[in-house]
Chain A
Amino acid sequence: NAGVTQTPKFRVLKTGQSMTLLCAQDMNHEYMYWYRQDPGMGLRLIHYSVGEGTTAKGEVPDGYNVSRLKKQNFLLGLESAAPSQTSVYFCASGRQVQPQHFGDGTRLSIL
């Protein structure tokens, strides 16, 4: 079972560039999440979705957009990358509101 798959695993961007992080889950979960993890800050919720076609803001949504056009996919977009968005990004999914499965992360560096 693949579980939660994140693409890409690593990426380096220049300030001002845009990119999309892709998350795919094969467990038919309704709930999907995007978190960022920074040293000493724990996991902070960026955006989440409670079902196909829905999105909601989390704790740190500024500078990010998301889309959930298909139940199995949750996309995280950075329209104009900033150095402060250098982080490790985790996608997660779950049957209920609490995330059960996490991907292995996308390590993003913005120069």
Chain B
Amino acid sequence: QQQVKQSPQSLIVQKGGISIINCAYENTAFDYFPWYQQFPGKGPALLIAIRPDVSEKKEGRFTISFNKSAKQFSLHIMDSQPGDSATYFCAASTSGNTPLVFGKGTRLSVIA
């Protein structure tokens, strides 16, 4: 059973556009929702994370939007740049010693 469903699998965005990646979850006990960015040949890097007490968190051009009632969260990349081309993973976990569950990833390509 896939606990975190991520879409789309791949995404092509024009430079300067908005990239949007969505994730949905089933387990209402999840209370931590991070996003990771992975460049080819490298390990994932923690990008931004949100907890369900807020509906949005912004860090620079990256924003997480969280909809608790719909059990969905999304990553928005404003003014997308070619350097943002990478694979993005959403994840979720519960408080305590429960490890993260990852989505399957979205390969983003930003073209000039």
Which A residues form the contact surface with B (CB < 8 A)?
4, 33, 40-45, 48, 50, 58, 90, 92, 97-105
Given A45-B99, A92-B43, A98:B104 Cβ within 8 A: no
Given A43-B89, A50-B97, A97-B97, A90:B103 Cβ within 8 A: no
How many pairs of A and B residues are in contact by the CB < 8 Å rule? 52
A42 touches B89 (CB 8 A): yes
Pick from B9, B43, B49, B105: contact of A104, CB under 8 Å: B43
Q: With A and B bound together, what is the CA distance between A48 and B99 in angstroms? A: 8
A42 touches B102 (CB 8 A): yes
Contacts of A58 on B, CB cut-off 8 Å? 99
Q: Is B93 an interface residue (CB 8 A)?
A: yes
Given A43-B89, A98-B32, A98-B100, A104:B46 Cβ within 8 A: no
Main secondary structure of the interface of B (DSSP, over half): loop
Pick from B43, B91, B96, B105: contact of A90, CB under 8 Å: B43
Contacts of B49 on A, CB cut-off 8 Å? 98
Q: Is B54 an interface residue (CB 8 A)?
A: no
Pairs of residues from A and B, 7 with the lowest C-beta to C-beta distance, nearest first: A102-B43, A42-B104, A43-B102, A42-B102, A102-B44, A42-B105, A104-B43
